[in-house]
Amino acid sequence: MLLTKELTKRPDLAEIVYSLRDVEETPYALCRFLRSTKFDVPTLLQRLESMAPDFQLAREKDFFPNLSSVMNGAPLYAFLKFYPFLTSGHAKNGCPVNYFLVGQIQAPMIFSLVDMAGFEAFMWHQSVHTFRKHVQAQQNPDIVRMESITVLDLSGLTYAAASSQEAMDAVKLASKIGDYFPEVRPGRAFVFVATWSCIHI
């Protein structure tokens, strides 16, 4: 396969694709990334090339296993009050289930507790350490797909909150980290609740 041949030449790119190797077999990792570019290998390699520098920086920090050391002393429970993203339980297909209270995000408060680097460290920690822990906790050894299901609660979401510069910065950073984990981070399987709630201007 062309991709595996190229990854053999570029161990820095292989590290991105196989970052969950202790809970995911190689064929599934390859397919996750190939699906993200509709099996266009040159496009995928270009994407991995652009992602490599930031990935290596995070990898040098072991993807921030100890959040307290990078969150400016802010307790995690306080951070999660303003960025209410929690993982709890598994769906019938074994995927970890995330609950994201989008309408309760308070971006200005998030960045009053942590700087952008601290928020980025949280996203890396969630994507590697927290996700890996929840995959290992599911009881069915035959489940191999590395993906999650996210329940988005939109109640309380306002236009002002969603369009603020702080909110846009948070969304851009979360999306950027999510690109390193196609199908794993929220972006593939969503369940919307409170869709009757309008965005108030």
Give pLDDT tens digits for 18-58.
999 988 889 999 999 999 999 999 999 999 999 999 999 99
**CA neighbor of 87 nearest in space, from 56, 124, 127, 51:** 127
User: What is the DSSP secondary-structure string of 53-108?
Assistant: HHHHHHHHTTT-S-GGGTTTT--HHHHHHHS-EEEEEE-TTS-EEEEEEGGG--HH
Write out pLDDT tens, residues 150-181.
888 888 878 777 778 888 888 888 889 989 99
Task: Indicate if the pLDDT at residue 195 is higher than 50.
Answer: no
CA–centroid distance for 53 within its chain? 18
Total-model pTM? 0.85
Residue located via tokens 């989008």 = 102
Q: Which of the 8 DSSP states describes residue 24?
A: S
Task: Indicate if the pLDDT at residue 89 is higher than 70.
Answer: yes
Q: What is the mean pLDDT of residues 5-10?
A: 94
